[in-house]
A and B are shown apart, each in its own frame.
Chain A
């Protein structure tokens, strides 16, 4: 059974870079699926951040594209999120997930989420 788990700092200072890691178990990230990040601000709906394919293809939310980098390390079964120049508006629960992409578009495996607060 595929499982994903987020890890990283729960507090980030304004203007700094938010960095999170997602560890995948029960499935190889090089086996053909896309992997991505979604965030959910308090009391709001989810917001898709972006996805990546182990071959190097990435897709990003146009509103975040200038600040986001998603990459992976297939040897470790991990993928990563970097979001630069954060502000209080980036405070949210961040989820990593397996994303179906290409023949259909949806998120079928979600992590439990990690809360990230941007504050000094």
Chain B
């Protein structure tokens, strides 16, 4: 069970859009539409931002959106704000009835 692959860092200026990718395999993200994304500020617990590839929980701004194509999922943050600076992790349901996470992307707001 390997971790999903994310770029270690991403950045953008306030007001801009940034997209974070998450690449899996044919045992997880490539065959299941159960991708979720989590935001984690330093010293805090992760917070659910996207589930089911593109669904937003109540309270999450519509500036956050998700998509998937093949074995790659993406999280797009539009209208970047200072508080969006955080680590972002993707996750997918996987074979063996399990969950797998990515290694994380540190988003910097310039």
Which A residues form the contact surface with B (CB < 8 A)? 44-48, 59-63, 95, 99-100, 104-108, 110-113
Give 9 closest A-B pairs by Cβ, nearest first: A106-B36, A105-B93, A48-B99, A106-B51, A110-B45, A105-B34, A45-B103, A45-B104, A46-B101
Nearest A residue to B92 by beta-carbon distance? A105
Given A62-B98, A108-B57, are A46 and B34 also a contact pair (CB < 8 Å)? no
Our pick among B98, B100, B103 for the contact of A44 (Cβ within 8 Å) is B103
A-B contact pairs, 19 of them (CB 8 A): A45-B101, A45-B102, A45-B103, A45-B104, A47-B101, A48-B98, A59-B97, A100-B51, A105-B34, A106-B48, A106-B51, A107-B36, A107-B48, A108-B48, A110-B45, A110-B46, A111-B45, A112-B44, A113-B45
Q: List the B side residues contacting A113 at CB < 8 Å.
A: 45
A45 near B89: Cβ-Cβ < 8 Å:
yes
Considering only CB atoms, which chain A residue lies closest to B48 in the complex? A108
**Cα distance, A44 to B99, chains bound together (Å):** 16
Within B31-62, the residues touching A (CB, 8 Å) are: 32, 34, 36, 38, 44-48, 51-52, 57
Q: Does B69 contact A (CB under 8 A)?
A: no
Chain A residue contacts of B89, Cβ below 8 A:
45-46
State how many angstroms separate the Cβ of A80 from the closest Cβ of chain B.
19
B71-108 contacts to A (CB < 8 Å): 89, 91-93, 96-104
Identify A95's interface contact among B36, B45, B91, CB under 8 A.
B45
Asked whether, in the complex, the Cβ of A45 is within 8 Å of the Cβ of B52, the reply is no
Q: Which residues of A contact B45 (CB under 8 A)?
A: 95, 110-113
- Closest residue to A95 on the B side, CB-wise? B45
